[in-house]
A and B are shown apart, each in its own frame.
Chain A
Amino acid sequence: QKEVEQNSGPLSVPEGAIASLNCTYSDRGSQSFFWYRQYSGKSPELIMSIYSNGDKEDGRFTAQLNKASQYVSLLIRDSQPSDSATYLCAGRRNNDMRFGAGTRLTVKP
């Protein structure tokens, strides 16, 4: 079992819809979680981080964390074609960051 698991997708949503990306983790000692966006051939770009149970909003993005269920999600509201990318979930314990394999999102105009 991988420490951080994501549905590889692809996930396809129409422009303007809400995209929901999910991630589960196995290490209960994980202290914080991160969502990165990665365009093809480029390096990961940090979207947001979350440390506490509940929701954290930043613009069109909302991260959700449920430590009891070991579940992290990212919602993208009003999805745009420019949001088409691979989204990486990562969990951190101390200085050890573990990444999922990513979910590929396609936003269709």
Chain B
Amino acid sequence: DTGVSQNPRHKITKRGQNVTFRCDPISEHNRLYWYRQTLGQGPEFLTYFQNEAQLEKSRLLSDRFSAERPKGSFSTLEIQRTEQGDSAMYLCASSSMSSGSYEQYFGPGTRLTVT
């Protein structure tokens, strides 16, 4: 069990560019979550996958954000036409449905800076 991994760890981009982040969950965890966290706030839910199905998406999530989990393993989060307000830490978490505990384990995060 190597934990949740995320890449890249840091991303600096110019406003208007597209960025893509990757998350590899703990092996055999079938639930995967994306969150965004800004300074002084707790993580804010973005979207949730169970296996390859995207089951929930925050109503606050702009259409510029899209996420995929094509084979039920790793997931990608893409932000199109980035804005300065997108600057944040993007966190991925995974949990196991079989455990029944709903405990989520976070990856190290991807820190995005939009200039």
Contacts and interface: CB of A to CB of B under 8 A. Distances in A.
A36 B44 CA distance: 14
Given A42-B108, A43-B91, A95-B56, A90 B103 contact: no
Interface residues of B, number: 23
Given A43-B107, A43-B108, A92 B41 contact: no
Interface string A34-49: 1010000011111001
A44 B91 contact: yes
B18 interface: no
Interface in B97-115: 101-109
B31 interface: yes
B115 to A, nearest CB: 20
B55 interface: yes
A104 to B, nearest CB: 9
Contact of B106 (A31, A45, A95): A45
Contacts of B65: none
Interface string A73-99: 000000000000000101010011111
A95 B31 contact: yes
Contact of A101 (B31, B40, B89, B109): B40
A15 B40 CA distance: 25
B8 interface: no
Q: Pick from A31, A44, A96, A98 the residue with the most CB of B within 10 Å.
A: A44
Given A43-B91, A43-B106, A44-B91, A99 B43 contact: yes
B45 A96 contact: yes
Given A99-B42, A99-B43, A101-B40, 4 more contacts: A34-B103, A44-B91, A90-B42, A102-B41
